[in-house]
């Protein structure tokens, strides 16, 4: 069986070294030494001052929205994982969608300002598949209209723009460290805040609102801490990240060589001044009918790619109940896009087999 992704697990002896340290100290959670160590490594890796590990990427989104005191409407993308929109709704705000750019699949910046109203408090944009948003123009629009900016950077570990980590843009960036991601802590995530005062607020919010001793509370908080066991996995993977990216890059190059680009399309990912992380391999089919035909044939061979992202979030029933919004590009692309298997030890033989099955089924 070949799934769309496969969790990278380090040699167990490397993880056991950290387990021994946890047992020796008896410190398993509550901002332990391994959590602090991983936070410091990630700060240096992203070249940021303020980073906080949390229990998952969805919690990171919810804390980001609440820490900025966002109300009313938040402009966002319909082409993302459901957590991007559900976090907005969970925090009692309404998602206002802006359709996507058909080349990069990120938010179409030419359509943002038309959606801004007196109720708009922020822009929450996703670096889709690790493809960066137009961060410079989003900054201009946000500054002009006095809006906050959150980036869902769940897929963007290691991505750079103009030799600068993509985590340095916006008021807040959130990252997912779920087991399916390029870099993971089994479950987990992080919040990057580009403001010291905001960072201090987030540090309290992720730990029940504690401001020091148990009786001293800053305000309302939640339990979003990461455990020492999760941090240990992250520390094991940290030194291997370049090798993991290189492997995905090789597999991607082979797909690039083998697939039929007279019929298929792929999002623009390697444009000027971008260092990409090869976190996903999405392809766009001429029609949903052909996609389903290819998917069926792959599944019959025990190969399981993923229709990611599908459906377009504006078509989700509970979101439509808030407000019906038509997003023609996102709705079209979401029906025709599929992410192919891509992980560190995917074999050349497997990539060739997957590509051959796809090519054989490209006709109506």
- Examine the domain organization and report whether 263 and 162 are in the same domain: no
Say what percent of the chain tops pLDDT 90. Answer: 94
User: Do 153 and 83 meet the contact criterion of CB atoms below 8 Å apart?
Assistant: no
- Rounded to whole angstroms, how far apart are CA atoms 249 and 210? 43
| pLDDT at residue 75 is higher than 90 | yes
Domain boundary residue among 195, 221, 238?
238
- Examine the domain organization and report whether 82 and 191 are in the same domain: yes
Cα angle for residues 172, 51, 58 (degrees, 5° grid): 60
- Output the pLDDT for position 218: 83
On average, the pLDDT of the chain sits at 96
- Examine the domain organization and report whether 234 and 249 are in the same domain: no
- Examine the domain organization and report whether 186 and 328 are in the same domain: no
- For the domain that residue 274 is a member of, what is the CATH number? 3.90.1150.10
- Rounded to whole angstroms, how far apart are CA atoms 225 and 150? 21
How many domains does the chain contain in total? 2
User: Do 118 and 152 meet the contact criterion of CB atoms below 8 Å apart?
Assistant: no
- Examine the domain organization and report whether 197 and 342 are in the same domain: no
- Examine the domain organization and report whether 332 and 317 are in the same domain: yes
The 8-class DSSP code of residue 220 comes to -
Domain holding 23, by residue range, is: 2-238
- Output the pLDDT for position 219: 85
Q: Are strands 164-165 and 160-161 parallel, antiparallel or unpaired?
A: antiparallel
Per-residue pLDDT tens over the stretch 5-60: 999 999 999 999 999 999 999 999 999 999 999 999 999 999 999 999 999 999 99
Domain boundary residue among 188, 203, 238?
238
User: Do 97 and 325 meet the contact criterion of CB atoms below 8 Å apart?
Assistant: yes
Domain boundary residue among 222, 238, 254?
238
**pTM value surpassing 0.85:** yes
- Examine the domain organization and report whether 64 and 190 are in the same domain: yes
- Examine the domain organization and report whether 46 and 176 are in the same domain: yes
- Output the pLDDT for position 176: 98
Per-residue pLDDT tens over the stretch 317-355: 999 999 999 999 999 999 999 999 999 999 999 999 999
Q: Is the Cα dihedral 195, 199, 202, 206 positive or negative?
A: positive
Which stretches within the chain are classed as H helix?
A: 12-25, 33-46, 57-67, 82-90, 135-145, 196-205, 228-238, 241-258, 288-300, 317-320, 328-336, 348-360
- Examine the domain organization and report whether 206 and 228 are in the same domain: yes
- Output the pLDDT for position 113: 98
- Examine the domain organization and report whether 196 and 314 are in the same domain: no
- For the domain that residue 167 is a member of, what is the CATH number? 3.40.640.10
């Amino acid at each position: 069986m070949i799934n769309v992704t496969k969790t990278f697990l380090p040699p167990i002896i490397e993880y056991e070294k950290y387990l021994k340290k946890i047992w020796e100290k008896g410190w398993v959670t509550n901002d332990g030494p391994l959590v602090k160590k991983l936070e410091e490594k990630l700060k240096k890796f992203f070249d940021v001052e303020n980073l906080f590990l949390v229990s998952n990427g969805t919690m990171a989104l919810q804390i980001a929205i609440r820490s900025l005191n966002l109300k009313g409407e938040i402009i966002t993308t319909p082409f993302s994982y459901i957590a991007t929109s559900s976090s907005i709704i969970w925090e009692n705000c309404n998602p206002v969608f802006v359709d996507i750019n058909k080349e990069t699949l990120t938010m179409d910046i030419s359509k943002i300002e038309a959606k801004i109203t007196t109720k708009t408090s922020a822009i929450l944009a996703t670096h889709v598949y690790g493809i960066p948003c137009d961060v410079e123009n989003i900054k201009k629009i946000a500054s002009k209209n006095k809006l906050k900016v959150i980036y869902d950077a769940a897929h963007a570990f290691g991505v750079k723009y103009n030799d600068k980590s993509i985590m340095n843009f916006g008021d807040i960036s959130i990252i997912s460290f779920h087991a399916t991601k390029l870099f993971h802590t089994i479950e987990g995530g992080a919040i990057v805040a580009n403001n010291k005062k905001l960072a201090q607020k987030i540090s309290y919010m992720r730990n029940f609102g504690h401001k020091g001793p148990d009786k001293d509370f800053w305000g309302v908080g939640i339990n979003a801490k990461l455990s020492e066991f999760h941090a240990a996995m992250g520390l094991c993977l940290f030194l291997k990240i370049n090798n993991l990216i290189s492997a995905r890059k090789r597999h991607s190059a082979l797909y690039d060589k083998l697939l039929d680009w007279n019929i298929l399309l792929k999002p623009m990912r390697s444009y000027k001044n971008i260092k990409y992380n090869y976190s996903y391999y999405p392809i766009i089919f001429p029609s949903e009918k052909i996609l389903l035909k290819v998917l069926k044939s792959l599944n019959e061979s025990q190969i399981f790619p993923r229709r990611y992202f599908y459906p377009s979030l504006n078509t989700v029933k509970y979101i439509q109940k808030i407000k019906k919004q038509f997003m023609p590009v996102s709705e079209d692309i979401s029906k025709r896009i599929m992410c192919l298997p891509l992980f560190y030890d995917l074999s050349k033989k497997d990539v060739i087999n997957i590509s051959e099955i796809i090519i054989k089924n490209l006709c109506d």
